[in-house]
Chain A
Amino acid sequence: MYRTASGEDIFVIDGHTHFWDGSPANQKNIHGKQFIECFYAYHSNLSPPAEKWPLEKFEKYDAKTMHDDLFIYGYDDMAILQPTYLTDFYNNGFNTTERNSALKKSHPERFILNGAFDPRDGNKGLEELHAKAEKYKLQGVKLYTAEWRGESKGYRLDDKKTYKFLEAAQKLGIKNIHVHKGPTIIPLNKDAFDVGDVDDVATAFQDLNFIVEHCGLPRLDDFCWIATQETNVYAGIAVALPFIHSRPAYFAHVMAELLFWIGPDKILYGSDYGIWTPKWLIDKFMEFEIPEEMTKETGSVLTLENKKKILGLNAARIYNVDIEAQKNKIGATGGYAHLSAARAAE
């Protein structure tokens, strides 16, 4: 919960968090080592110096550290756990729904547990999706189209095989499809980050929401165009958000463009924990204003109303979270004890 200077409480749903194991013991090969080190470069490069972790902590953190970073030191009220399997790189997978489910089990009021599917898994994958949807009551899945599978270096959303899985998801009540593009989609001679396939499935599956993580970066320009055409395409701002520290002018541009093209109701906050932590991101986000000159040009303003939507209201809407009821649940388990203590001390 974030409290403004005027005493208003803002309910925060973190749209993008991970509970991974990237430690050397779990790395299967050089790719596993390079994958976590690439994440670490993002972390090192874009975090304020005081927020940087040593590599050992970054490779593998425990459930309590994550819980406290999000909910006690940070302002998150709830967090969506987005899996990334990477079974070709890690012995037990990198950040699987199974691993994430431990957090959901110990703090059901805090976490939304998302699943994943990979169309290359065929019928076996469809069966697993059914089983997991039932077991975990999934409302969303995270797709990583650049995942390696043996010789295959990724898949496309507009592939017929993917359609089968999206049809199944729809039947199973999985409404929210989070999409993350990585750089190795085949054929390799084409633009690996092309977001055209999102356009295709968003048109074909009007009842599903497509949340494009990292707002299509590095193809923000193409993404904005697609997102204006489709009413069911959302932008997750994980990765764009930490630029608020190192490159505030660029962050302002990105926000101005997103607000102009897709509007405040379709932008979702995400910390991308453990790459970044909610505390500093939200402190800076709440202070942030789009410079007047850019507002003149685009008409985009990051009002308190818009910030509330981005930080929680939008995610609550698409994940059916009743905020008042949820606050009560969290309060009942002592989840806000630290706030009462801090406020009593003031």
Chain B
Amino acid sequence: MTAETIADRKAEVWARLQTVTDPELDEPVTDLEFVTRADVDAENRVHIEFRLPTYWCAANFSFLMADDMRMAVKELPWVSAVNVTLGEHMYADKINAGLAQGLSFQETFGVEADGDLDDLRRTFLVKAFQRRQAALLAYLIAAGYPAAALVELTLGQLTAVKFDEAGGKLLARYLERRPVVAGVAETLAFIDADGDPLQTETLPTYVRALRRVDVNAEFNSALCRGLLHARFDTATPLTPRRAGQSAELPKVSA
């Protein structure tokens, strides 16, 4: 394989990884700088290494992200195998062994788990839906749409709205998560997490409640980014750590 092909394939891998999000933060694992390595070898095997903001990050989210990365990259037709390795984590050995053998979360953790991660994944997909909906609703309200119109807006009408660039992004992000709660036959553009229509009178309260989900997620994102930075980054000088100890790891670029 030529160097050029490898470079192209690496780029394809990074593009696939870009679609994988931290379920809690609803942001791509690449943007979060979790992924430190994505290489393709001569046998078309992909080797991915990632790290997290703390040694203690929840095992379930860690496993979910690793599993999602593996599945996302496997979709590339030329890939023969995907190895995902988590570094410097309390469950690194266990998770890496599970991943290497293609085990499920339940199989990896045995008695410590009483099921797989479907419910957890669902909980955070709903939260992501709520955040994305809140952002789009806030945008439309600010643009002058009255509550009565928003609660009755159909999906067709929503997608026909002429958005500016920022609004277009919000719409795309919302539409990506709308199917989490909306069935295929649902015609209303906006429904709540239970799939019920929104009400004109309570729309402001509803948007405010969703805002809480958003504030929480933004807060967590700021914390996680900051902790990752404090743990690994070398770009900003920190207070010197233990004399003679090099806490510095090579800066990786995503």
Give Cα A217–Cα B226 distance, bound, in whole angstroms: 15
Q: A192-B60, A243-B219, A257-B215 are in contact. Are A186 and B239 (CB under 8 A)?
A: no
Q: Which residues of chain B are within 8 angstroms of A53 by Cβ–Cβ distance?
A: 239
In the complex, how many angstroms separate the beta carbon of A293 from the nearest chain B beta carbon? 12
Chain B residue numbers with a CB within 8 Å of A37 are 55, 231
B164 within 8 A of A: no
* Given A189-B113, A191-B123, also A250-B59 (CB < 8 A): no
Give residues of chain B (215-244) contacting chain A, Cβ–Cβ below 8 Å: 215-216, 218-220, 222-223, 226-227, 229-231, 238-243
> Which A-chain residue is minimally distant from B229 (CB atoms)?
A45
Residues of chain A within 8 A (CB-CB) of B242 are 54-56
Number of interface residues of A (CB under 8 A): 44
Contact of B218 among A219, A246, A250 (CB under 8 A): A250
Set A31, A183, A186, A218: member contacting B220, Cβ < 8 A: A218
B105 close to A189 (CB less than 8 A): yes
CB under 8 Å from chain B, chain A span 41-56: 41-42, 44-46, 52-56
Candidates B58, B215, B226, B229; contact of A254 at CB < 8 Å: B215
Evaluate contact between B120 and A191: CB separation under 8 angstroms.
yes
Mark interface residues in A218-234 (1 if CB within 8 Å of B CB, else 0).
11110010000000000
Q: Describe A's contact surface by its main secondary structure.
A: helix
Q: Does A38 contact B (CB under 8 A)?
A: yes
A44 touches B230 (CB 8 A): yes
Q: Is B208 an interface residue, CB under 8 A from the partner?
A: yes
Answer whether residue B49 sits at the interface, using C-beta atoms and an 8 A cutoff.
no
The yes or no answer to B119 lying at the interface (CB within 8 A) is: yes
Cα distance A56–B238 when bound, in Å? 14
Q: Which of B212, B220, B226, B240 has its CB near the most chain A CB atoms (within 10 A)?
A: B212
In the complex, whether B32 has a CB less than 8 A from a CB of chain A is no
Quote the shortest CB–CB distance from A145 to chain B (angstroms). Answer: 13
Cα–Cα, bound, A189→B222 (Å)? 25
| A44–B90 touching, CB < 8 Å | no
Does A184 sit at the interface, judged by CB under 8 A?
yes
Is B112's beta carbon under 8 Å from chain A? yes
Q: Which chain B residues numbered 4 to 55 have a C-beta less than 8 Å away from chain A? A: 24, 53-55
Question: Using Cβ atoms and an 8 Å threshold, which residues of chain A touch B229?
Answer: 45
CB-defined contacts of B60 to chain A, threshold 8 Å: 188-192
Q: How far is the CB of B52 from chain A (nearest CB, A)?
A: 11
B197 at the interface (CB under 8 A from A): no
B113 adjacent to A217 (CB under 8 Å): no
Q: With a CB–CB cut-off of 8 A, which chain B residues contact A184?
A: 56, 58-59, 90
CA A224 – CA B212 in complex, angstroms? 9
> Is B115 part of the contact surface with A, judged by Cβ < 8 Å?
yes
A291 sits at the interface (CB 8 A): no
User: Hey, which chain A residues are within 8 Å of B230, CB to CB?
Assistant: 40-42, 44-45
The answer to whether A297 has its CB under 8 Å from any CB of chain B is yes
Q: Is the CB of B113 within 8 A of A187?
A: yes
Chain A residues, Cβ within 8 Å of B113 = 186-189
Distance of B93 from chain A, by nearest CB (Å): 11
Taking CB atoms, residues of chain A closer than 8 Å to B239 are 44, 52-55
Is the Cβ of A187 less than 8 Å from the Cβ of B115? Answer: yes
Residues on A with C-beta less than 8 A from B208 are 297-298
Chain B residues, Cβ within 8 Å of A303: none
A54 adjacent to B212 (CB under 8 Å): no
Distance between A285 CB and nearest chain B CB, rounded to angstroms: 17
Q: Are B216 and A220 in contact (CB under 8 A)?
A: yes
0 or 1 for each of B103-133: is its CB under 8 Å from A? (1 = yes)? 0011001001111110110010001000000
**B158 at interface, CB cutoff 8 A:** no
B213 in the interface (beta carbon within 8 A): yes
* 13 pairs, CB–CB < 8 Å, chain A vs chain B: A38-B54, A41-B230, A44-B238, A45-B223, A190-B60, A190-B120, A192-B58, A217-B216, A218-B223, A221-B127, A221-B213, A247-B219, A257-B215
Listed in ascending order, the chain B residues whose CB lies under 8 Å from chain A are 24, 53-60, 90, 105-106, 109, 112-117, 119-120, 123, 127, 208, 212-213, 215-216, 218-220, 222-223, 226-227, 229-231, 238-243
Interface residues, chain A, with chain B CB atoms under 8 Å away: 31, 34-35, 37-38, 40-42, 44-46, 52-56, 153, 182-184, 186-193, 217-221, 224, 240, 243, 246-247, 250, 253-254, 257, 297-298
What are the nearest 5 A-B pairs in CB distance? A45-B226, A34-B55, A41-B230, A52-B239, A45-B230
